[in-house]
Amino acid sequence: MQKSPLEKASFISKLFFSWTTPILRKGYRHHLELSDIYQAPSSDSADHLSEELEREWDREQASKKKPQLIHALRRCFVWRFVFYGVLLYLGEVTKAVQPVLLGRIIASYDPDNTEERSIAIYLGIGLCLLFIVRTLLLHPATFGLHRIGMQMRIAMFSLIYKKTLKLSSRVLDKISIGQLISLLSNNLNKFDEGLALAHFIWIAPLQVILLMGLLWDLLQFSAFCGLGLLIILVIFQAILGKMMAKYR
């Protein structure tokens, strides 16, 4: 297998995902074979990730009476997680600015609105640039968060596997095979699925504040009717989610 081009990709290549072009071109011309697939980058290898997490877990056990795995994971991945979270937030902010620019462009068609008509071309250029900026922010952020989730899953998988090899047969008799399979194949996949959405815990309230500020200028107190309905739906979904978790 060839080495992954992601390892030597430049910042521009990562931003525009041009490092994927060779395999996409090859896949367009003929069916991909196993030899066409790249090796996993060294930073994504199970050996590298498990050693890093195991080192932080040993450090956590040595420093605290009640060690928690979340602290070891935090020390391994937190800064990249925060970086991609900021990119995701900036990309989401552009969604709030878009209808403002679009509304002003529509207003420029009014012959009596001379102020908007004089800057209509700049508003149009700004709207196009906004779409480009959103793409350049959201796509790398989403890819990066999914990749961190994958790395967490691989590191946890390796750590659990190493742990099972160290357990005695007496302890293993008390653990069902189905429990281990469910833990490795189902539960750990939630890192991939959930990590990209985790930032919305703090992004969503900030978005609501920003949008309510924009709606206040247009609707005044009527804007809170939509917010009230949204809050009711969130509470209802939280109750349903708790019930589903219980039955599952």
Domain ranges of the chain: 1-39, 43-198, 199-248
Whether the full predicted model's pTM is greater than 0.75, yes or no, is yes
Candidates 6, 216, 218, 210; CA nearest to 90 is: 210
Candidates 200, 182, 192, 181; CA nearest to 155 is: 192
From residue 66, give the alpha-carbon distance in Å to each of 69, 75, 84, 169. Answer: 10, 17, 30, 26
Question: Average pLDDT, stretch 201-214?
Answer: 85
pLDDT > 90? residue 221: no
Cβ(116)–Cβ(110) below 8 Å? yes
Q: How far does CA 221 lie from the centroid of its chain?
A: 34
Residue pLDDT, tens place only, 69-109: 888 889 999 999 999 999 999 998 888 888 888 888 888 88
- Place 9 in a pLDDT band, splitting at 50, 70 and 90: confident
Residue pLDDT, tens place only, 178-201: 777 777 777 777 777 788 788 888
Q: For the chain, what is the mean pLDDT?
A: 85
CA count, 13 A, side-chain hemisphere, 85: 15
Assigned token pair, 184: 């490795």
165/180 Cα distance (integer angstroms) = 13
Percent of the chain topping pLDDT 90: 15
Cβ(189)–Cβ(78) below 8 Å? no
Candidates 33, 32, 52, 54; CA nearest to 42 is: 52
Residue pLDDT, tens place only, 129-150: 999 999 999 999 999 999 998 9
Q: Where are the beta strands (DSSP E) in 5-92?
A: none
Give the relative orientation of helices 120-166 and 69-107 as an angle to the nearest 10 degrees.
160
